[in-house]
Amino acid sequence: MPEHNTPAQKWYALTVPHQHERQTEKALQSKGLETLVPLYRSRRQWSDRVKDVELPLFAGYVLCQFDWTERIQVLDTPGVAKIVGFGGIAVALEDSEITGIQKMMASKLPLAPWPYLKTGDRVRVEHGLMRGLEGTLLRIKDALRLVISVESLQRSVAVEVDRDAIVPTRAA
């Protein structure tokens, strides 16, 4: 690992084949690159036993910090398919996102993957008394609200929902 990070070093997400996150991470680390593959614990049921396993929080990705001039060295690493980007242009991750992930990992609290939701997304309640209800996700301070609109009255109603009870709806 480098002694210190230069200002030109940024964090990038690299796509890797299914279940090759840790192998690819080790290959990148052997080149002296800093990597991050956050893991979470999951209980898996087989026909004859139940086992706790560690799985990548971001399946199919390895996060890696490097200077853009080192990209060929990164792309030549076994297991690295490509650097994540948009429109053919690689996009660096925000330092605050990496810091947030590192703090969550350091907390030793249980982590789990979660559907990517943002304010304004259409969601459906999957559990509880409001199961099946669909609406728009809204965040007010630290609370999530489900907003239902009555078009003919041009009015809306909001109810607080538990994040564990909602899932994104499929776009039609």
45 and 101, same domain (yes or no):
yes
Whether 24 has a pLDDT exceeding 90, the answer reads yes
CA distance linking residue 156 with residue 147, whole number of Å: 7
77-110 pLDDT, tens digit per residue, is 999 999 999 898 999 999 988 998 999 888 887 7
Instruction: Tell me whether residue 156 is in a domain.
Output: yes
Q: Are residues 61 and 99 in the same domain?
A: yes
Regarding whether 48 and 17 lie in a shared domain, the answer is: yes
**pLDDT tens by residue, 41-82:** 888 888 899 999 999 999 999 999 999 999 999 999 999 999
- For residue 1, tell me if it sits in a domain: no
User: Total domain count for the chain?
Assistant: 2
- Domain extent, residue 141, equals 122-168
Are 18 and 95 in the same domain?
yes
The encoded tokens of residue 19 equal 């279940």
Helix or strand run (H / E) with residue 124: strand 122-125
DSSP, residue by residue, 80-91: --EE-EETTEE-
Residues 97, 137 within the same domain? no
State the pTM of this model: 0.71
Confidence band (pLDDT; 50, 70, 90) for 3?
very low
What is the 8-class DSSP label of residue 170? Answer: P
d(CA 9, CA 44): 38
Hunting for tokens 């614990």 — which residue is that?
41
Does 128 lie in the same domain as 55? no
The reply to whether 16 and 85 lie within a common domain is yes
Q: Which residue has the higher pLDDT, 69 or 115?
A: 69
Same domain as 77, residue 35: yes
**Domain match, 27 and 64 both:** yes
Is 3 within the bounds of a domain?
Answer: no
Pairing of strands 166-168, 61-67: unpaired
